[in-house]
Structure 1
Amino acid sequence: MIHPFDTQGKTAVVATMHGKERVIIPALAPLGLAFLPRPPIDTDRFGTFTRDIRRAGSQQEALAAKARAGLAAAPEADYAVASEGAFGPHPAFPFIPAGFELVGLIERRSGAMIVGRYLSLDTNFRQMQAQSIDEVEAFAQAIGFPGHAIILMAGKDGPIIAKGVSDRKRLLSQASAAIAHEGSIWLEADMRAHHNPQRMASISLAAQDLLRALAARCPSCDYPGWTPQTKDGRPCRWCANPTCEAWIEVRQCGNCGHVAERCLDPDRRAEPGHCSICNP
């Protein structure tokens, strides 16, 4: 029987042009992979944060495309690792900015990919139109400049003036020139990993989640990714109707389809504040 995702002693590459191997390789050390030198690969072609190259498809599809490109660039590798980030409003609290990182491991033999995930509130994702140097200085301080770089653009939709700006003299010079000529300048935190330590830390945590997903094996076929999801519906303490609180843990194998469910803390009832009937 072939053991799926048997990584011990196999070879792998990290598909990146932004230095992500610095955090991915240490995080995945328990897999026993021998990482090959990073191949020359243009991952920007799958989309850029500055929108000069739009991402085609979903975040997961871009992740898979990067990973397949890694295998194509390194024919001797058994596996390829890639990551893809997305930034914007938190899915549950839209007034809070958040970052969502995916790190995937693709297996050449099967073409299958297992994915780790991390949703972070520790992000300096920020954009603004500045009309004065004081506003530029305030923005720089807010995102952690110069440890985190800034992107300068003529407007929200471009053109790009400069990426990766981490020198104060250069920042003020280019911003002053743009404001004098156009009246304003568009500023963005540079979210590329090699210019953003906060994002690099989130990628490391997503890689650690990938490690957990690879260790969680289906009891039926030994395929990885046997990780839980939850279903709402815990009965209300007052009226016993289903609420929006988690009630059932579900695991489903992505390979053989085996499903297992269990009730979470079955004797506990939800508070009425979570009930749409008692608290409409």
Structure 2
Amino acid sequence: MSSSYAGQQIAFLTQHGKEQVIAPILEPALGCVIKHVTGFDTDQLGTFTRDIRRPGSQLDAARRKARIGMELSGLSLGMASEGSFDLDPFAGMFPWNIELLVLIDDRLGIEVVGMAQGPGHSSHVQASDWPAVESFAAGVGFPDHHLVLRPQDQDDTRVHKGVSDWTGLKASFEQCLAQSGNRQVFVETDLRAFANPSRMQHIEQAAQDLLKRLQSCCPECASPGYWVSERQPGLPCSVCGRPTSGYLTEVWKCGRCLHTSVQTRTDCAFAEPKHCASCNP
């Protein structure tokens, strides 16, 4: 595996400090150098504060960042990270953070994507007095997690970013309150990576996932990124033996030569009856 990226520079475009958690994982394991690329304002591709909407999907944005980094650096290898926030996939009630880390390798003509997800640190409050803001800030882990303030409501374009200490928070609150026509201030967690340690943890986990995929090589052409592309249902029920929605086999695929293989899962042989449409209709 080390022969694929040993001694190679990989362009990484970011202005939010993500290289600090990605490089320590990938560099020693792959023998590569993560080259931090600057010279482009990545906020132009979308902001969490909604002043610039992100065009396309999360993966589209990551690909575009990687390509821009490759163009600026002149390198044939590029990497980029992109995050998103939504409601959790279980109850649909809590903030959920998904982080993607894409590697584009024009030498081999492949793209490999690592991913991590988990509870997100994303909250907001509409406040009219300092004690309410103070209480909210303490509850969301400020100042480790930075805050963003706006006069009036969440759509106000007068955004106060980079609020990372109590003195600055109170000053920003008072300024927003003076600017607000309804005597309300909208306060929310800053979702930029450097301002949100919870996001940084998921970005680090995405780097670990990417590393696993890059260390999995195709048995035919030896290219990195040989990974599961599809899971097929049919795991038999432990009671009635009928096929369930639980996956029985995995399809592994190479992004370069397109070699595929179907492998039966080995971690379990049967599904619990609660997942069986016959035993638990």
Fold-level match, TM-score > 0.5?
Answer: yes
- TM-superposed deviation, 1:194: 1.3
One-letter amino acid of the counterpart of residue 21, structure 1: E
The change in CA–CA distance for 1:267 and 1:116 in structure 2 (over 3 A counts) is closer
* Maintained 8 Å contact 2:47/2:53: yes
1:50-199 residue pairs with structure 2 within 5 A? Answer: 50-75=49-74, 77-110=75-108, 112-121=110-119, 123-154=120-151, 155-179=153-177, 181=180, 182-199=182-199
Q: CA deviation at 1:177?
A: 4.2
Instruction: Give the aligned partner of residue 257 of structure 1.
Output: 258
Match of 2:43 in 1: 44
Label 1:176 to 1:37 Cα distance change in 2 as closer, same or farther (>3 A).
closer
Deviation (angstroms), 1:4: 12
Distance 1:265 1:12, change over 3 A: closer
Name the CA distance, whole Å, in 2 between partners of 1:85 and 1:266: 31
Q: Once structures 1 and 2 are overlaid, which stretch shifts more, 91-100 or 184-193?
A: 91-100
Deviation at 1:43, TM superposition (A): 1.0
In 2, are the aligned partners of 1:152 and 1:186 still within 8 Å (CA)? yes
Query: Which consecutive unaligned segments of at least 5 residues does structure 2 have?
Result: none
> How far off is 1:31 after superposition?
1.5
Distance in 1 (alpha carbons) for counterparts of 2:44 and 2:3: 28
Q: Give the Å deviation of 1:167.
A: 1.6
The percentage of aligned residue pairs carrying the same residue is 39
The answer to whether the 8 A contact 1:4-1:223 is kept is no
Question: d(CA) in 1 for partners of 2:225 and 2:82?
Answer: 19
Deviation, structure 1 residue 262: 2.2
Q: Distance in 1 between matches of 2:236 and 2:267?
A: 10
Q: State the 1:109 CA deviation.
A: 3.2
Question: What is the total number of aligned residue pairs between the two structures?
Answer: 276
* Shift in Å, 1:111: 5.2
In 1, are the aligned partners of 2:235 and 2:247 still within 8 Å (CA)? yes
Q: Say if 1:5 and 1:107, in contact at 8 Å, map to a contact too.
A: no
| Aligned AA (2:127) | A
Q: Conserved in 2, the CA contact under 8 Å of 1:153 and 1:187?
A: yes
Secondary structure of 2:274's aligned partner: helix
Cα separation, partners in 2 of 1:110 and 1:250, compared to 1, 3 Å: closer
Give distance in 2, aligned partners of 1:263 and 1:60: 29
**Quick check: 1:217–1:223 contact (8 Å CA) kept in 2?**
yes
TM value normalised by structure 2: 0.89
TM-score normalised per structure 1: 0.89
Tell me, yes or no, if the aligned pair for 2:111 and 2:255 is still in contact at 8 Å.
no
Q: What is the CA–CA distance in structure 2 between the aligned matches of 1:120 and 1:33, rounded to whole Å?
A: 28
Aligned-residue CA RMSD in angstroms? Answer: 2.3
Aligned amino acid, residue 44 of structure 1: D
Q: Report deviation, 1:112.
A: 3.2
1:6 deviates by 2.0
Q: Which residue of 2 aligns with 1:271?
A: 272
